[in-house]
Structure formats: structure tokens, C-alpha cells
Amino acid sequence: MKTINQLQDEIISEFALLEGDTEMTLFYIMELGEKLEPMKEADKTDDNLVKGCQSKVWLTARLENDRVWFSADSNTAITKGLVSLLVRIFNGQTPDDIIHADLYFISKIGMERFIGTQRSNGFAAMVKQIKLYALALKTKQEV
């Protein structure tokens, strides 16, 4: 299993190939979203919506063998691609690793350049929600 930082480095390498081309980058992000494992329709409830996103983003988490597994979806292609990057980085990691993760890939790929302020706020909300799930699952684990 790769670490959070190894996965971030992989993503940085993939985005480097696009050489900062905004159109190609957005197309690539949408492509990543298409590869995201489908979320169960039953999980697309208001309770699972990420607060602070302009688009609808559903996110769930479960603990299995001391590792956290996420399921996510969005009603827009770019946002679905963005959440798929987070799922890729955090799936199968321990709650502690998720809580303490430093997401340096965001600035390294220059994400704010091509997603704008609204989406950046939404992306931050997704990261926050992922860390909150990890914290909740860790607490449950310790009880």
C-alpha cells in the first residue's frame, strides 16, 4: 500500500506531463472523475452532502481493518474529478495518517490556477470532511 505522500508525488508527476495547459488539465480532471468507482444511489442523501461546495458532492467513509475507505460522487464532472483525487490519496489509509496528512500536491500542481476561488473553497470543504470522517472513525475505534 502506497503512502499518502507517494500518492501525492504520483499525482504531481501526472499533472507535470500536462505542462500547465489549463484546458488539458481540466479535461484530465474530468477523465479522472469518470474512473471513480460508482457510489450507491442509496448513499446520495442530504446527510452525505459536503457542506461548503457549490456543486453537490456526496462523501461517505467506512472503517475496515483499521483503514478508512471512501465513496464519493458529484453532480458536476470537474468536481467529481477533484474528489476522485482525494479518494485516491486517502483510500486505505489509517485514520491517523489522514488526520495528519499535509496535502502539498494542491500547490505543486497549481490547482488554484485552474479551479477558481469557488471550487477551491469547495475542495477545502471536501478535505475537511474527509479529515472529520477519519477523526470520527478513529474515535469509534478507540471506544
CATH number (domain holding residue 72): 3.90.1010.10
Per residue of the chain (143 residues), what is the pLDDT tens digit? 999 999 999 999 999 999 989 899 999 999 999 999 999 999 999 999 999 988 999 999 999 999 999 999 999 999 999 999 999 999 999 999 999 999 999 999 988 887 888 888 999 999 999 999 999 999 988 87
- pTM comes to 0.95
* pLDDT, tens only, 23-36: 999 999 999 999 99
* pLDDT, tens only, 94-111: 999 999 999 999 999 988
Q: What are 135-141's contacts with CB under 8 Å, separation 24+?
A: 135/95, 135/99, 137/61, 137/62, 137/63, 137/68, 137/95, 138/95, 138/96, 138/99, 140/63, 141/63, 141/66, 141/95
Instruction: Say which of 4, 32, 50, 53 is annotated catalytic.
Output: 53
Axis-axis angle for helices 22-34, 77-90 (nearest 10): 70
Residue 134 confidence (pLDDT): 98
Domain span holding position 53: 4-142
Integer Cα distance of 51 and 88 in angstroms: 21
Integer Cα distance of 106 and 8 in angstroms: 9
Structural domains of the chain, count: 1
Residue 115 confidence (pLDDT): 83
Query: Annotated catalytic, 53?
Result: yes
